[in-house]
Amino acid sequence: MGKILAVGAKEMRQILRDRRTLLILLFIPAFFLLLYGYALSFDIRNVRLAVQDRDRSTQSRELVSAFVNSGYFALVGYEDSDAALARLVDEGQVRAILSIPSHFERDLQLKRPVTVQVVIDGDNANTAATVTGYARTLIAEYGAVQMVAMLADPHLRQGYGGQALSGPVVIVEPRIWYNPQLRSALFLVPGLIAYISMITAVVSTALSVVREKERGTMEQVRMAPVGPVAYILGKTLPYLAISFTSAVLIVFAAMVLFDMPMRGSWPLLLFSLGLFLVGAQAQGLLISTIADTQQVAFQIALLSSMLPTMILSGFIFPISSMPTMVQGITHIVPARYFLVALRAIVLKGADITAFWQDLVALAIFATVAIGLASLRLRKEWA
């Protein structure tokens, strides 16, 4: 116990001496969150829109204002000529065209089917798909409003070929829980927290051990009657404290900057975070037993923490839409489980019954990683 303290005090002094590294460990993660948080967004707003209104009626103007009021589209202007519209798209002045045919209002009143054309610049397929979705929804909503108005108006009802319209009409009324505005930030920020904490914990732990190997101080410590367990505990505990502080700072930053809610319990969040970080540190430790130089350790640590957490954890790409084999691989990525727990706590305010399996998985990952690291370390140590 005294020896753990001796090693821990030494490590802490070394960290405190190296102010620059300490600042990097504590604040760069929050800065990263800022950077990634604003740059990474799937939301598309203010799509520049040109309108070709051949009807110029009250109804057509209503449809255009439905587009503009949605917030997704910004009206650039009206244009009648097809050639001029094509040029606007080519020059990148507009990304979408709404084309309303003549007799739009009349056909609506006669209850004939009407076709509205929406042209979208497809040079960015993702954006185009999203914008198509917005347009489709807006037009469908507009159609539904027309239909409801018609059903409510007895005069109009009677007017339809003399036959009364009746019977059930199914109207979809979507309610999106936890993130009603569908802000992608709410989906991404928990992922970012996992991503950044993972990298920080793995890299800092791996480097701190390999540094001692490289400088030869490890050899000296091994000559002293300090077991590998006391040495490793003493070395990793200060970094656990720092990674923990850093992760909590990121959570606060996310709450302040991205309005991330915190609906669940703090103790549960901190517990899950601790479990996740211990596993990450064990991974860093394992790397330190393989690498002999700080450079190699840094590269392995960065790759092994960054790529799986980014790609295979469900941070950006949903796991359920991955090929079966890749889905299998995601089971050894700890961030996958942490993300489920984190999103559940932060966004849904869920309690432990909703995600205890994920916490168990995190515990298993940490145990296996610690086991492997100590096996390797014992071999190296004596």
Partner 1 sequence: MREDLAIDVRGLTRRFGDFVAVNDLSFSVKPGELFGFLGANGAGKSTTIRMLCGLLRPTAGAAFVGGIDVGSDPEGVKQRIGYMSQRFSLYEPLTVDQNVQFFGGVYGLSGERFAARRKFVLEMAGLAGREKTLTRDLPGGWRQRLALGCAILHEPSIVFLDEPTGGVDPLSRRRFWDLIGDLSSKGVTVLVTTHYLDEAEHCHRLAIIHAGKLAALGTANELKQVFASRPIVEVQAAQPVLAMAALDRLDAVEKTSLFGTAVHAVMRDTSISFAMLAASLATSGVEVRGIAPVSPSLEDVFLDVVERVGAA
- Among residues 71, 77, 133, 227, which is the contact residue for partner 1, using CB under 8 A? 227
Stretch that binds partner 1, among 3-11, 149-157, 270-278, 362-370 (CB under 8 A): 3-11
Coil/strand/helix, residue 53 = strand
Span interacting with partner 1, options 55-63, 170-178, 219-227, 362-370, rule CB under 8 A: 219-227
- CA 317, 320, 321, 322: dihedral to nearest 10 degrees? 80
> Considering the rule CB under 8 A, would residue 325 count as an interface residue with partner 1?
no
Residue 14 or residue 265: which is nearer to partner 1 going by CB? 14
Shortest CB 244 distance to partner 1, Å: 23
226: contact with partner 1 by CB under 8 A: yes
Instruction: Considering the complex, state which of residue 95 and residue 213 has its C-beta at the smaller distance from partner 1.
Output: 213
For the chain, count helices (H), then strands (E): 15, 4
Taking alpha carbons only, the member of 101, 102, 105 closest to residue 118 is: 101
Q: Which two tokens stand for residue 97?
A: 């065209």
28 to 35, 119, 200: CA distances (angstroms): 10, 43, 9
- What span, in angstroms and rounded, lies between the C-alpha atoms of 273 and 328? 24
Exactly one of 3, 48, 61, 103 binds partner 1 (CB under 8 A); which one?
3
Tokens found for residue 251: 């959570």
Q: Which residues inside 7-66 make contact with partner 1, applying CB under 8 A?
A: 7, 9-10, 13-14, 17-18
Q: Checking phi first, is residue 50 left (phi over 0); if not, alpha (psi -120 to 50) or beta?
A: beta
Tell whether residue 217 is a contact of partner 1 (CB under 8 A): yes
Which C-beta is closer to partner 1: that of 154 or that of 216?
Answer: 216
Q: Is 224 in the site for partner 1 (CB under 8 A)?
A: yes
Per CB under 8 A, the list member of 5, 140, 149, 182 interacting with partner 1 is 5
What x/- string results for residues 66 through 105 when contact with partner 1 is judged by CB under 8 A?
----------------------------------------
Minimum Å distance from CB 229 to partner 1?
12
Please state the closest distance from residue 1 (CB atom) to partner 1, in A: 10
Residues 6 or more apart whose CB falls under 8 angstroms from that of 42 comprise 126, 130, 184, 188
Lookup: tokens for 232: 């490793």
* Rounded (10°) angle between helices 125-152 and 58-69: 130
Does 111 bind partner 1 (CB under 8 A)? Our answer is no
Distance in angstroms (rounded) separating the CA atoms of residues 341 and 318: 15
The 3-state DSSP class for residue 97 equals strand
Q: What backbone torsions phi and psi does residue 261 show, to the nearest 5 degrees?
A: -75, 165
Quick one: which of 136, 215, 331, 378 contacts partner 1 (CB under 8 A)? 215
170 binds partner 1, rule: CB under 8 A: no
Other Cβ atoms closer than 10 A to 53: 19
Nearest C-alpha neighbor of 186 from the set 273, 261, 270, 269: 261
Angle, alpha carbons 154-158-159 (nearest 5°): 115
Among 83, 170, 171, 223, which residue sits at the site for partner 1 (rule: CB under 8 A)? 223
Q: Which of 347, 33, 11 has its CA nearest to residue 199?
A: 33
2 versus 267: smaller Cβ distance to partner 1: 2
Scanning 27-35, 85-93, 214-222, 331-339 for contacts with partner 1 by CB under 8 A, the matching segment is: 214-222
Residue 318 sits in the site that holds partner 1 (CB under 8 A):
no
292 near partner 1, rule: CB under 8 A: no
Per CB under 8 A, the segment of 72-80, 198-206, 211-219, 363-371 that binds partner 1 is 211-219
Q: Is 379 in the site for partner 1 (CB under 8 A)?
A: no
Tell me if 207 contacts partner 1 by CB under 8 A.
no
What is the rounded CA–CA span in Å between residue 278 and residue 284?
Answer: 10
Nearer CB in complex with partner 1: 79/380 = 380
Specify the stretch interacting with partner 1 by CB under 8 A; choose among 103-111, 137-145, 216-224, 331-339: 216-224
**Interacting residues toward partner 1 by CB under 8 A:** 2-3, 5-7, 9-10, 13-14, 17-18, 215-217, 219-227, 382
